[in-house]
Amino acid sequence: MSRTNRLRARKEIEYTPKALILTDNAREKCLSLIGEGEVVRVYVEGGGCSGFQYGFKIDTIQEDDTVIDNIMAVDSLSYSYVKGSIVDYKSDIMGSQFQITNPNAVGTCGCGVSFTV
């Protein structure tokens, strides 16, 4: 195969990132929060210092959701903002919360809750 054909073939391969990557801490916290038929929902809404902010709530799976490990769900509108992100659960002197490390964000707020794409 010529170099040109190899490059052309390489361009046709698309990488699909995993919706969300859960750390062990995040997985354990989700399992402690949810009951039968429930998931922790991650969503994005307008607001915060940087334009968008993350939200979390206990919910049931909806038709347009992407479900991660049967314990976390992301709606179709939020998916494009969070795909490929790492979700962790941190507990320190300032409190406890889920934290998202988002490769799609070009800017974040100091609080870690809001972001810009």
Number of domains within the chain = 1
How much is the pTM? Answer: 0.76
The CATH number of the domain where 51 resides is what?
Answer: 2.60.300.12
Structural tokens at position 60: 């049931």
Residue 65 lies in a domain: yes
CA distance 2 to 9: 11
Residue 10 lies in a domain: no
Q: Which amino acid is present at 53?
A: Q
Tens-place pLDDT, residues 19-78: 899 999 999 999 999 999 999 999 988 876 667 888 999 999 999 999 999 999 999 999
Residue 68 lies in a domain: yes
Are 81 and 117 contacting, i.e. CB atoms less than 8 angstroms apart? yes
Residue 7 lies in a domain: no
Full residue range of the structural domain in which residue 58 is found: 15-116
